[in-house]
Structure 1
Amino acid sequence: MVFRQLFDSSSSTYTYLLGDRHSGDAVLIDPVFEQVRRDAALVHELRLRLLWTLDTHVHADHVTGAWLLKQRAGSAIALSAASGASGADRLLEHGDRISFGKRYIEARATPGHTSGCLTYVLDDESMAFTGDCLLIRGSGRTDFQQGNPAAMYRSVHERIFTLPTTCLLYPAHDYHGLTVTSVDEERSYNPRLGGDISVEDFTGYMNNLGLPHPKKLDVAVPANLKCGQPDVGQATAGDPQWARLTFTFGGIWELQPQALEEAGERVQIIDVRQPDEFSGALGHIRGAKLIPLDQLHRRVEEIDRTRPVVTVCRSGARSAQAVVMLQKDGFQDLANLAGGMLRWRAEGCSVEGGAA
């Protein structure tokens, strides 16, 4: 099975990608709106097909990426029937299953943080995704959105702690750099819910936390009740339109040789190799301007800021770094030539100079 744990630093949210390696089918748990490009790039680079996005609950600290991923990847949306959300393709009840290839995830109702919280359990019970119900050595709050400490206590003890002791638990958030725990660890060491702590102990603890409300509460909850769909007329960040670009998991926009040929004189090409490479065996692209990478920062004013920039090197590695450097210098319409001059020549694109 393919498994990746992703992180959004602004909301301290974990997103989880699970894929069946044989079929290529995949699901994504708790996607974040601002990270949709990253997540879609990873799915593409791992050669997976995103079937479902699953939210553990209606989040109050970020907007889900479910709707946007449906537009981009054709994935269906699922979350709890008790969430009160509209726009989902499937509303899940306790015990329902979501299949991806030969694998599946079972939804367990674990209310308490909200009335519509679900924990997703992998078919072999080796992993479970607990949302905001159970955190690592902690728990989600219970003071808004139909929160209920007694309900959370029962959810954890009856539907999470009853999993095998070795089952790994993955929360929706962590604020201390922790990534994973287990049923055995939390039953033994969770200071709110573990050991001999009673429901009365837990209720008293949770009712006296005195936490401020999440900063994005007034924006996130209404948006997530529509599965992340923006309001009519609300602007969303679109992809660049000046060429056919691909966003990589590494955070760089790339374009393929054919797309660069199609862009023509609309773009300026900056070759960041050394002079002997520029005039060497691989040749160079017609109209390219040579600015070696080690000179790029001090010669940045030679580049037209009003036209898109495509950076080029031998393999695409140095030119990817050139994109990062130009971003720091304030350039916005930037892309790296995928595969560099090696791919450019391999695909039969025209060059000036170089070996036959």
Structure 2
Amino acid sequence: MRSCSRCDFQQGNAHTLWRSITEQLFSLPDSCLLYPAHDYTGRTVTSVAEEKAFNARLGGAATERDFVGHMEAMTLPHPHKIAEALPGNLRSGKPRDASASAPSWAPLQRSYAGLPELPPSWVAEHREALTLLDVRSAEEFHGPDCQVAGSLLLPLPELEQCSGEIPAGKPVVVCHSGSRSALATHQLLKAGHSQVANLRGGLARCGDEGYPLEDIVA
């Protein structure tokens, strides 16, 4: 009510949300009552007419460009445990396929959320046989947090469109940690890439265990 859901994780997209609300919800009669799933101020009901007029993000004379700019500028912190919760949400709570728990290409471990992971020691030992995929933004990739030398940069919002740039015939290890790498791993598995895993502990664990990271800050 007077707001909307955030779009910066769980495959969210501000353009998609704008179309969903304006082309579907706002196509209902103005008198149609809307009951939110939750509201942080105790409100329980609104209407299509009220949201069209008073919603601070997409009501009044707001355009899609206004809305997308607002959503992308919010930079909210991610909720606690979102990296564990997202894969379960994306499976709709369904149990993981037991047949996928013991692949032969690597000694995979499973995160709490069930995503396949590999320790830095194994990745370092088999580096030449792997594609290391970094899904951060270009600014982060070239920033002060370093990277694994030779890793391939494909920012998460571009991953689906640019997945053809991932070399064929090599297993893929997503080498950052957090919700974005979890989503990237899930997305690649869903797209049919059977040999995909997260780097357990991400770049921070690599550095802590003494494996070299590359600093390319100009």
Q: TM-score of the superposition, structure 2-length normalised?
A: 0.51
Q: What is the aligned length?
A: 123
User: In the aligned structure 1, how far is the partner of 2:178 from the partner of 2:125?
Assistant: 19
Correspondence for 1:258 among 121, 125, 136: 121
Task: Please tell me whether residue 332 in structure 1 is matched to residue 201 in structure 2.
Answer: no
In the TM superposition, residue 354 of structure 1 has moved relative to its aligned partner by 5.7
Q: Distance in 2 between matches of 1:354 and 1:340?
A: 18
Q: Could you tell me which of 280, 291, 316 is aligned with 2:154?
A: 291
CA contact (8 A) 1:282 1:354 kept: no
User: C-alpha offsets along residues 265-313 of structure 1, whole Å, 9 cap, x if unaligned?
Assistant: 1110110011121122221111100001111010011012321100122
1:305 aligns with 2:168: yes
Q: Which residue of 1 aligns with 2:181?
A: 319
Change (3 A) 1:344 1:259: same
Q: AA paired with 2:141?
A: F
CA gap 1:321/1:36 in 2 versus in 1, 3 angstroms: closer
Are residues 316 and 262 of structure 1, via their aligned partners in 2, closer, same or farther at CA, if it must alter by over 3 Å? farther
Using the TM superposition, give the Cα deviation of residue 324 of structure 1 relative to its aligned residue in structure 2, in angstroms.
0.8
- 4+ residue runs of structure 1 moved beyond 6 angstroms? none
Q: Is the 8 A contact 1:285 1:352 kept in 2?
A: yes
Q: Secondary structure at the match of 1:327?
A: helix
User: Higher RCO, 1 or 2 (CA under 8 Å, sep at least 6)?
Assistant: 2
Change beyond 3 A, Cα 1:281–1:249: same
AA at the equivalent of 2:183? Q
User: Is the CA contact (8 Å cut-off) linking 1:320 and 1:336 kept in structure 2?
Assistant: yes
Partner-residue secondary structure (3-state), 1:310: strand
User: Map of 1:151-230 to 2, 5 A cutoff?
Assistant: none
Structure 1 unpaired stretches of 5+: 1-33, 38-235
Of 199, 206, 212, 1:344 maps to 206
Match of 1:245 in 2: 108
Secondary structure of the 1:259 match is helix
Post-superposition offset of 1:249: 3.4
Which structure has the greater CA radius of gyration? 1
Instruction: Work out which of the residue numbers 275, 282, 293 in structure 1 matches 2:138.
Output: 275
> What is the CA deviation profile of residues 151-205 of structure 1, one whole-angstrom value per residue up to 9, with x for unaligned ones?
xxxxxxxxxxxxxxxxxxxxxxxxxxxxxxxxxxxxxxxxxxxxxxxxxxxxxxx
Task: Give a deviation string over 1:76-101, Cα, whole Å, max 9, x none.
Answer: xxxxxxxxxxxxxxxxxxxxxxxxxx
Return closer, same or farther for 1:258/1:275 CA change in 2, 3 Å cut-off: same
Kindly provide the amino acid, as one letter, of the partner of residue 328 in structure 1. K
Instruction: Kindly indicate which of the two structures has a greater share of residues assigned to helix.
Output: 2
Provide the secondary structure at the position in 1 that maps to 2:126.
helix
Residue 296 of structure 1 aligns to a residue whose secondary structure is helix
CA contact (8 A) 2:96 2:114 kept: no
Distance 2:198 2:171 in 1: 11
Stretch moving more, 287-296 or 256-265 = 256-265
Q: 1:35 to 1:284 in 2, by over 3 A?
A: closer
